């Protein structure tokens, strides 16, 4: 075989291999991006389920603890902020963390009213909300695992070349931060009302 033809054949095979690798890498990014979006939609469904449960829970607690207006207003404000479309996943996470903290304070109020804790409607709503929170936590873990895989591939050489050339950007984790990570502590020894969480 002619050396020029051999060289051209080798170069052609190498170029074809690079093109096929590029296509496979790009398709891998698309697949992972779609997994991240699918995981987010599952979390979003559970978040909306939580938004739907909160007004009923607030109304039930109001029937027993009507003078706890500040807590009810805080929960209502936090729910409204979380239910609004966010500009980023980080903003959504911050809004969800504020809502989780407000719900914790609502449950702290309920602890001061034994008759409320015995109410069947309250117990059912509390159980439903607890189950929803568990599903949100599971969805968050699944979403964050997909984000981790996507970001790792995006930052790993030589895939990072394809990711950068084709416009893929890091995905944002959906994390609990600040007060929502802390276990709320409540002190009812002062005045019989709801206590604020201690620092």
Q: Which of 187, 107, 75 is nearest to 198 (CA)?
A: 187
Please give the pLDDT value at position 177.
60
Work out the number of other CB atoms within 10 angstroms of the CB of residue 20.
10
Question: 């950068």: which residue's tokens?
Answer: 164
**Consecutive 10-residue averages of pLDDT for the chain (199 residues):** 86 94 95 95 92 88 80 90 88 90 87 82 87 91 95 93 92 70 39 38
d(CA 109, CA 62): 10
d(CA 124, CA 121): 5
Q: Tokens at residue 67, please?
A: 């003078």
Please give the pLDDT value at position 121.
84
Half-sphere exposure of 84 (CA within 13 A, CB side): 10
Q: Which of 36, 49, 64 is nearest to 140 (CA)?
A: 36
d(CA 98, CA 86): 14
What pTM value is reported for the model? Answer: 0.73
The fold for domain 3-181 equals de novo design (two linked rop proteins) (1.20.1440)
Q: Tokens at residue 7, please?
A: 């060289």
Locate all alpha helices (DSSP H) within 84-198, ordered by sequence: 89-111, 114-118, 120-155, 159-165
What sign does the dihedral 75-77-80-86 (CA atoms) show? negative
Please give the pLDDT value at position 191.
41
Domain ranges of the chain: 3-181
Burial class (CB in 10 A: 0-12, 13-18, 19+), 197: middle
């Amino acid at each position: 075989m002619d050396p020029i033809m051999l060289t051209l054949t080798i170069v052609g095979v190498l170029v074809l291999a690079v093109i096929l690798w590029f296509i496979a890498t790009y398709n891998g990014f698309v697949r992972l991006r779609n997994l991240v979006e699918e995981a987010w939609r599952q979390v979003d469904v559970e978040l909306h389920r939580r938004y739907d449960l909160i007004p009923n829970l607030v109304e039930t607690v109001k029937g027993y603890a009507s003078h706890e207006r500040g807590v009810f207003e805080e929960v209502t404000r936090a729910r409204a902020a979380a239910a609004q479309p966010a500009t980023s996943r980080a903003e959504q996470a911050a809004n969800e963390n504020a809502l989780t903290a407000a719900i914790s304070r609502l449950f702290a109020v309920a602890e001061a009213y034994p008759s409320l804790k015995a109410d069947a409607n309250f117990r059912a709503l509390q159980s439903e909300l607890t189950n929803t929170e568990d599903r949100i936590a599971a969805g968050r873990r699944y979403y964050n695992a997909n984000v981790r895989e996507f970001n790792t591939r995006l930052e790993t050489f030589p895939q990072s070349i394809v990711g950068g050339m084709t416009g893929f950007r890091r995905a944002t984790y959906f994390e609990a931060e600040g007060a929502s990570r802390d276990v709320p502590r409540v002190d009812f020894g002062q005045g019989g009302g709801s206590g604020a969480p201690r620092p």
